[in-house]
Structure 1
Amino acid sequence: MTPEFPSTTGMHDPFLTPPPGCPAHGLGPGGLHRLDEAEDLSELYEQLREQHGPVAPVLLHDDVPMWVVLGHTENLHMVRTPSQFCRDSRIWTPLLEGMVKPDHPLMPHIAWQPICSHAEGDEHLRLRGAVTGAMSTIDHRGMRRHINRSTQRLVNRFCEEGSADLVGQFAEHLPMAVMCEILGMPDEYNDRLVESARDALKGTETAIASHAYVMDALSRLTSRRRAQPEEDFTSHLIMHPARLTDDEVREHLRVVLFAAYEATANLLANVIRVVLTDPRFRAQLSGGQMTVPQAVEQSLWDEPPFSTVFAYFAKQDTELGGQRIRKGDGLLFAPAPGNVDPRVRPDLSANMMGNRSHLAFGGGPHECPGADIGRAIAEVGVDALLMRLPDVELDCDEDELEWRASIASRHLVELPVRFAPKPPQDVMQKPGLAPVPPQRATWQVGTPQPTPAPAPQPTAPQQPEPTPEPVRPKGAWRRLLRWWRGY
């Protein structure tokens, strides 16, 4: 008999709640686990996998029922089958039955919005086409140069101190600096914009005001580019044949900015942490057996930036992972447990270099359109950081690192490091320890390296040389004889 969600009637029956001291205390109605109360979600996911298989019933805040998809294959099937599953929460049964209140903590993530990540059919094609079309115009070589320069600026802030927090001083700043350049608002980048984005994503008491600050910057950008387009993402989004309105442009700028910023900040922190704490990883990286891009890919397997994504909804009665899914049920796309599915990774210590089949960027019609941008920021940023600070080391014990966890993701709170103080560098130069010699202006193949002129030596006064006699012009026959004799 396959487990099903309990009926929405009688959800708060006191007889369904175990008394304190009971082994089942802390479980919700029907004996289901509450994700928001779990101390260790990774451990809970493995427990659910043993109990229910690749798809398990759970409870969200306020005991709202939901399925969490734990299997790698099942996650891919869900996101790649739009005929059965969609992202339109307006068909979600608990929402229609009034179980999900307007102030539910997850409503900002689940509530339907007129954006491409929630749209379906022709509307999805229109909105998503505008976003991917604008993405295709990004100059990736220019973007990588800007990542290097932004890294130089950030490292210059703390390189002379010999210590830093690479989360608060680096990983949370680099993605925002790069995204502001891509969107076309480099002048808006500052510490306040970074703090506002972090605050809005944390959902604190000041999150609404912080969100308003970011949206005000995006509104100004939309107005400027509508009046005067330039070669940036926002201008191409506005000029796309889909003819997005100003409201649609602002909302999609918000989605792109917040999603790219949050995911890449987590990815950067995770990659740097592993490089600093895993001796095998650091040895491989330094020994040339593993490149930084391969290190990034390994991190996307082991610690995806988003643990789960809210949410997909069943458009019809179906079956997934041996479970009976009813029309209107909600399902969590879960990259973190999906990436460690024992059917895909029976040995978690095995090297995943060259394998990009992880779930970190989703899949199907709603796959992350900015995966290449996230990878570039992480790859170039980490490489440039290690070039500037090759002796960087963790400044605490690994077990002292703290995390801020939620159902959606795990954030490293702080990453303290130490290194020998370094002088600042010109942000226009490639990151490194020694200056690169300037390129020769008249270089060509076979040209010998010029040698410095010897220092002048004192000599006796020289007599003026006699004026040479003018050379008589040679006829064709005399020139031929000289050539024949090798002169």
Structure 2
Amino acid sequence: MNAQPLNGPDAPRGCPVAHGGDRTRLFGPEASTDPYGIYERLRKEHGSVAPVLLEGDVPAWLVLGYRDNRRVLDNPRQFSRDARIWRDWREGRVSETHPLIPMVGWRPDCVSQDGEPHRRLRGAVTDGLLAASSRGVRRHATYFANKQIDAFADAGRADLVADYAEHLPMLVLTRILGLPTAEGARLVESCAEVFKGGEGALEHNERIMQILSELAERKRTEPGADFATALLEHPAGLDHDEVVSHLRLVLIAAHTTTSNLLARVLQLVLSDAGRLSGLVSGQLNISSVVEEVMWDTPPLAVLPGRFAATDLELGGHHIQEGELLVLGLAAGNLDPEVRPDAGVAVQGNQSHLAFSAGPHECPGQNIGQSIIEIGVDVLLHRLPGLRLAVPSEELSSTASTWESRLDSLPVEFSV
């Protein structure tokens, strides 16, 4: 990654740098291996908001400060979620085929809109997820956790990323959404590629949309006790595109964040004998471990995106109307102004940014937490003597602009 100024010397803070100036790329070799190092360097150089470049050298502002993140997330009138006001897209510098579009572009779903359109659509999503969660998410998670473990229980070793964390959330989600279980493997790959970006992002996004469009059509004639049917039958009267877009939203957001979070929780537990024994004995509650991971390594490190609804000041910088902002959830959680002792575990404090905040806060967080709690509990009680197969310091991660994922989690256990 080239973190040097793209045009001339460092610009002073507050200097407009919308299409040039001192911008750091949030993609490339360094960004994939040391995103937290980049966040801290940007914080030192620019303060709580920093000018950056996204894939394809698309300019954006990365919000690093906890309080500035909350200001953006809590104020949709100033910071809109509607990408139709995005200046670089409106003026033709970002095309509809750009790899960022699946993550940043406008769609007919609740996260792309504000005000009454947002309330109408979010109400349908919230009601549908509530109905789905009441129909046995924990039962589905228990069934699929055992089924995944059955595949490697006799081997005495496994990779808990590739063999477990990547698949368990998707298997539960296929049941919740009303999809055939067999679609899960294809969707795991496509969700990962959308988040990774690059040339394959659009193709995999289209694959997801095709699968979900077929699901919506099928559920019109074959309704069931699932999220797809709940959207189709909701009094808000969602049309086909709205139904498919919300199926996509829940699928991608829930799978990617839950699989990442599950892997990180398992990493933390297996790297600390005290936590592991506490969970096995019942003296430690898994929710406290999940909370710790939410603060230190949230599953979504950077949240796309908000758009300045007017010219304004943020973090000492002048943000122009229509400019793109991306929310540094990981950086905000480690902001020294609110967490001066970032190395100290946070206990009993759920004010982290991991689920976003404000009117667009994640509506399905309870489902994800249920999957993780069951996934960890079943694993620890099914596999006696579970332990890391390599020293914890050898575990590695690979990051994209939006997330940092554990590459593998090799373990051994008694048979």
Q: What TM-score, normalized to structure 2? A: 0.90
Q: In structure 2, what is the equivalent of residue 159 of structure 1?
A: 153
* Shift in alpha-carbon separation, 1:67–1:212, aligned structure 2, 3 A: closer
- Is residue 2:21 matched to residue 1:30? yes
Following superposition of structure 1 onto structure 2, how do residues 160-309 of structure 1 map, counting pairs within 5 Å? 160-203=154-197, 210-286=204-280, 288-309=282-303
Q: Residue 398 of structure 2 aligns to which amino acid in structure 1?
A: R
Q: In structure 2, what is the equivalent of residue 408 of structure 1?
A: 402
Q: Tell which has more relative contact order, 1 or 2 (C-alpha 8 A, sep 6+).
A: 2
- Is residue 2:139 matched to residue 1:145? yes
2:16 to 5, 9, 33: 5
Q: Are 2:196 and 2:400, in contact at CA under 8 Å, matched by a contact in 1? A: no
Secondary structure of 2:118's aligned partner: helix
Deviation, structure 1 residue 154: 0.6
Q: Residue 14 of structure 2 aligns to which amino acid in structure 1?
A: P
Q: Residue 291 of structure 1 aligns to which amino acid in structure 2?
A: N
Q: In structure 1, what is the equivalent of residue 6 of structure 2?
A: none
Deviation, structure 1 residue 127: 1.3
Secondary structure of 1:350's aligned partner: coil
1:384 to 378, 392, 406: 378
Q: In structure 2, what is the equivalent of residue 473 of structure 1?
A: none
- Give the percent of matched residue pairs that are identical in Structure 1 and Structure 2: 45
Q: 1:89, 1:212 → 2: CA distance? A: 19
Deviation, structure 1 residue 205: 5.8
* Shift in alpha-carbon separation, 1:395–1:238, aligned structure 2, 3 A: same
* Shift in alpha-carbon separation, 1:94–1:409, aligned structure 2, 3 A: same
Gaps of 5+ in 2: 1-11
Q: What TM-score, normalized to structure 1? A: 0.77
* Shift in alpha-carbon separation, 1:34–1:5, aligned structure 2, 3 A: farther
Q: Are 2:144 and 2:172, in contact at CA under 8 Å, matched by a contact in 1? A: yes
2:356 to 348, 352, 362: 362
Deviation, structure 1 residue 384: 1.1
Deviation, structure 1 residue 211: 4.1
Count of residue correspondences? 401
Q: 1:289, 1:347 → 2: CA distance? A: 26
Q: Residue 42 of structure 1 aligns to which amino acid in structure 2?
A: Y
Deviations 1:176-224 (A, max 9, x none): 1111111122444453443444345444666555444443432332123
Secondary structure of 2:111's aligned partner: coil
Q: 1:7, 1:386 → 2: CA distance? A: 50
Q: In structure 2, what is the equivalent of residue 81 of structure 1?
A: 75
Q: In structure 2, what is the equivalent of residue 398 of structure 1?
A: 392
Q: 2:362, 2:236 → 1: CA distance? A: 20
Q: Are 2:388 and 2:409, in contact at CA under 8 Å, matched by a contact in 1? A: yes
Deviation, structure 1 residue 259: 1.0
Q: Are 1:306 and 1:409, in contact at CA under 8 Å, matched by a contact in 2? A: yes
Q: 2:353, 2:305 → 1: CA distance? A: 15
Structure ID, larger Rg? 1
Q: Are 1:94 and 1:100, in contact at CA under 8 Å, matched by a contact in 2? A: yes
1:121 to 115, 125, 130: 115
Q: Are 2:97 and 2:202, in contact at CA under 8 Å, matched by a contact in 1? A: no
